[in-house]
Structure 1
Amino acid sequence: MKNVLIIPDGAADAPLEQLDGRTAFEAAKTPNLDALSGRGRLGTARTTPRGMPCGSDVCTMSLLGYDPARYHTGRAPLEAAAGGVAMGPQDWVFRVNLVHIADQRMRDHSAGHISSGEGARLMADFAERFDRPGFRFHPGVSYRNLMTDVSERGRAEGEVIESWDRVKTTPPHDILEAPIRRHLPVGGPLAEDLTRLIAESEVFLRDHEVNRTRRENGELPATHLWPWGQGRKPAMPTFEQRFGKRGAMITAVDLLAGIGSFLGLDRLDVPGQTSYHDNDYAATGRHAAEAIAGYDFLVVHVEAPDEASHAGDAATKVKAIEAIDRHVVGPVVDALKAARGDDGEWRVLVMPDHHTRVSTRMHDPTPVPFLLAGYKVGGVVRRTLTEKNAEASDLHVQHGHELMELFLRRPK
């Protein structure tokens, strides 16, 4: 059976005043999802386990069928896998955002979506200045960068040292408009090292040529480096070992690609795919439709609704959902029907990883709506995919990682 998981990242939301009391799903015109709903069923799934942070690392791991409480060691190692950053078993990896802080408040988690070239230059120049032994910096895409601490290499077994697992850090997108002093790293001397890094980056970046140019162009400067999401390399069974299916993933986001790497999913490159609304949606859908022939399981991830939410942009969020419906859902379902027939052995699961609220510009752990459709899937009541309709259904998965088994299960 062919199975395709489509993830409109962060698409779920609460009713919005600027959408006349509707959510983005309710406001969007989605004829392909509406048609798919007629042959499927809706439900909700709790992708954020209680007591864990609501982030794409935890939620996507849950969505793909892996219990985060068992397999999650931190966000940064997942991104490092996608970026080809070498990780020893004792190494710690951090995500490092280039951010914009003003008046001691986190104003933008992405430094105005700084370009990869500008970000790489800032990271490289700062790396030459910062003198903490063992830290290594790795430029990434746009504002997303990595840092490794390799200082534990060569330590004698059993030697007692300070550990990063005692340090609490905070994702910058979770504290938009909040005072940063309440969210600086805490947890002993190692936390003080990170706080010093943040403070030194402010001084260093203030008059950097890249930032001077950005100010002249009316763009937000990158004012600070913000480390968070630390962890060590996880040990996980591959998707094929766990579920018996050879799979692939389409995504523009290193975090998702890193998870896919640990799970043994092939990453399919799509020219023109980005994590914003300038994404080439048609190319995403075209490559997804072509990939169906070669894989039993395919993940198609589109980041744009999440980024629109973080920007507080309801109109763009609606447009992103409509583009996913038209250019991804439609072609994928058409390709499945062409390969296996209208009523053949194929299934589609459309599901955000988490809610991202336009009103707060932050993630929310409310259980997410999903649409499961295809081979021998049916519901009594036909409803379109919205948060309210999913909540009114009779299918509610309390442990999100258990939904994947239902999705892949072949009916007898």
Structure 2
Amino acid sequence: MKYVIIIPDGCADEPLETLGGKTPLQAANLPTMDAIAAAGCVGVTDNTPADFPAGSEVANLCLLGYDPKEFFTGRAPIEAAATGIQLGPYDCAIRCNFVTVNDQIMMDFTAGHISTEEGSELLAELNKTLLGGDHPAISADLAKRLEFVSGVSYRNLLIYRGDAEHPSPFTPTTRSSAPHDLTDLSIADDFPRGPGSDVLVALMTASAEIFADHPINKTRSAAGKSTATNVWLWGSGGAPGLPTFDERYGLKGVMITAVDLLRGLASLAGWDRIEVDGATGYLDTNYAGKGQAAVKALDQYDIVCVHIEAPDEASHEGRADAKVEALEQIDQFIAAPLWKAASERDDVRILILPDHPTYCRTKKHTHGPVPLVMAGKSVTPDAAQTYDEVTANASGLIFDPGWIMMAKFLGRE
């Protein structure tokens, strides 16, 4: 058997006035996804347990069949795995965003989608000036245990290296807020709280001072672009311990994505990764390249998973039209070639679903069920003819908690 998973991140939404009372899935022209629905079955799954944040870190972990109550330690450790960073028992990873904050309002959680090259230069300055050992914001002993690590664009990491005598000051009770859930809102009450929060706040504050007159920001400002006013630190955690997919199901998988969170989950699950030229993790990603790579990978792997960040990014920007366009691109250039390949074989099963809902109205991730569609070998069709929230909610097929869904899809329940 071959298994295909397509994850249009955050595509689930609510009816929008700007779309004539339809959700983006209903408003978009999705002939392939609707054809898959007509050939298979639709339902809903809840990947965001109420006692966890409604973030991609929890939702994608759950989507892939891992119970977050057992395996989730934080977002940043998953992203650390994407870059090959090994965390010891006393270490900790913290997610580090470049953000644009004006008058205590989160104007942009991406700092205008700052380039990786610009971000790397800013982090190098922090490592030198802030963590070099003589900055008043942090003690020299603590500074030598910390390092900012460049990722992709605005998505980066801060790593703490501890030992038995100096364990991480950041614990599971250290609270922080995801910046993408603060867009256009005051940040006054959303700074880190709890163990180690004084360190995180000090670093965030000091970064604002260091970035204020940095040449990168001067150049961006002159070009009319958002500046990186400071770093935002959140999502801390220690090393996770996930059993691999091969250990659980005896299957070899591959992930196609442009974001480190999914790269990290793939690494922890023991999957390979395929990097596609032009895959950006944004609305301008190389949809066709991802689709072509996925079709080619079917011959080599048992599971081929394609993750597309674009619908989520459109939601965070409150752009329903861009979300519809992203979904149509996914349908045409990813779902269509994969469904064609599946239809030409008798050993393929396909699954399409987002990780969590992301509302254009609020620009935030939210808890709640998401629609799924599965079709292919040994999947009994139902009466559904379209893939959208309304059809899925009416189907009666419900996976709650969501982590049990993967075993069903793989025929291992």
For this structure pair, what is the TM-score category when the shorter chain's length is used for normalisation?
A: over 0.9
Mean CA deviation greater in 12-21 or 216-225: 12-21
Q: Are the aligned partners of 1:292 and 1:336 in contact in 2 as well (CA < 8 Å)?
A: no
The 2-side partners of 1:369 and 1:337 are apart by: 22
Match of 1:237 in 2: 243
Mean CA deviation greater in 401-410 or 66-75: 401-410
The 1-side partners of 2:207 and 2:276 are apart by: 34
Q: Are the aligned partners of 1:49 and 1:69 in contact in 2 as well (CA < 8 Å)?
A: no
In structure 2, the residue corresponding to 1:180 is in which secondary structure?
coil
Among 252, 258, 266, which residue is 2:264 paired with? 258
Match of 1:370 in 2: 372
1:328 correspondence with 2:339: no
- Unmatched 5+ stretches in structure 1: none
TM norm structure 1: 0.95
1:153 correspondence with 2:160: no
Among 169, 175, 181, which residue is 1:174 paired with? 181
Match of 2:62 in 1: 62
Match of 1:138 in 2: 149
**Letter aligned with residue 13 of structure 1:** D
Q: Are the aligned partners of 1:47 and 1:62 in contact in 2 as well (CA < 8 Å)?
A: yes
The 1-side partners of 2:233 and 2:292 are apart by: 37
The 1-side partners of 2:173 and 2:324 are apart by: 40
Q: Are the aligned partners of 1:42 and 1:383 in contact in 2 as well (CA < 8 Å)?
A: no
Q: Are the aligned partners of 1:43 and 1:370 in contact in 2 as well (CA < 8 Å)?
A: yes
The 2-side partners of 1:71 and 1:54 are apart by: 16
1:114 correspondence with 2:121: no
How many positions carry a matched residue from both structures?
402
Report % sequence identity: 43
Q: CA deviation at 1:275?
A: 0.6
1:23 correspondence with 2:34: no
Q: CA deviation at 1:410?
A: 6.6
Written as runs of structure 1 = structure 2, the 5 A alignment for 1:288-307 is 288-307=294-313
In structure 2, the residue corresponding to 1:241 is in which secondary structure?
helix
**Letter aligned with residue 394 of structure 1:** G
The 1-side partners of 2:151 and 2:220 are apart by: 19
Q: CA deviation at 1:409?
A: 0.3
Cα distance per residue 1:305-360 (max 9 Å; x no partner): 1111111111111011001000001101112233x2xxx23211000001111111
Among 348, 351, 354, which residue is 2:353 paired with? 351
Q: Are the aligned partners of 2:317 and 2:363 in contact in 1 as well (CA < 8 Å)?
A: yes
The 1-side partners of 2:312 and 2:86 are apart by: 29
Cα distance per residue 1:21-67 (max 9 Å; x no partner): 11110111011111111111111101011200011110001000110
Match of 1:2 in 2: 2
1:391 correspondence with 2:393: yes
The 2-side partners of 1:114 and 1:208 are apart by: 14
Cα distance per residue 1:214-260 (max 9 Å; x no partner): 11000000001100000111111100111121111111111001010
Q: CA deviation at 1:89?
A: 2.0
The 2-side partners of 1:136 and 1:217 are apart by: 30
The 1-side partners of 2:410 and 2:337 are apart by: 21
Q: CA deviation at 1:163?
A: 4.5
Match of 1:126 in 2: 126
TM norm structure 2: 0.95
Mean CA deviation greater in 351-360 or 370-379: 370-379
In structure 2, the residue corresponding to 1:38 is in which secondary structure?
helix
Among 206, 215, 223, which residue is 2:221 paired with? 215
Mean CA deviation greater in 12-21 or 377-386: 377-386
Written as runs of structure 1 = structure 2, the 5 A alignment for 1:179-198 is 179-188=186-195, 190-198=196-204
Q: CA deviation at 1:379?
A: 3.7
In structure 1, the residue corresponding to 2:151 is in which secondary structure?
coil
**Letter aligned with residue 335 of structure 1:** A
In structure 1, the residue corresponding to 2:227 is in which secondary structure?
coil
Match of 2:171 in 1: 164
The 2-side partners of 1:350 and 1:287 are apart by: 17
The 1-side partners of 2:153 and 2:313 are apart by: 13
**Letter aligned with residue 184 of structure 1:** F
In structure 1, the residue corresponding to 2:304 is in which secondary structure?
strand
The 2-side partners of 1:63 and 1:316 are apart by: 25
**Letter aligned with residue 320 of structure 1:** A
**Letter aligned with residue 278 of structure 1:** D
**Letter aligned with residue 402 of structure 2:** G
The 2-side partners of 1:336 and 1:213 are apart by: 49
Match of 2:252 in 1: 246
In structure 2, the residue corresponding to 1:283 is in which secondary structure?
helix
In structure 2, the residue corresponding to 1:182 is in which secondary structure?
coil
The 2-side partners of 1:163 and 1:320 are apart by: 38
In structure 2, the residue corresponding to 1:166 is in which secondary structure?
coil
Written as runs of structure 1 = structure 2, the 5 A alignment for 1:76-95 is 76-95=76-95
Q: CA deviation at 1:154?
A: 4.5
Match of 1:268 in 2: 274
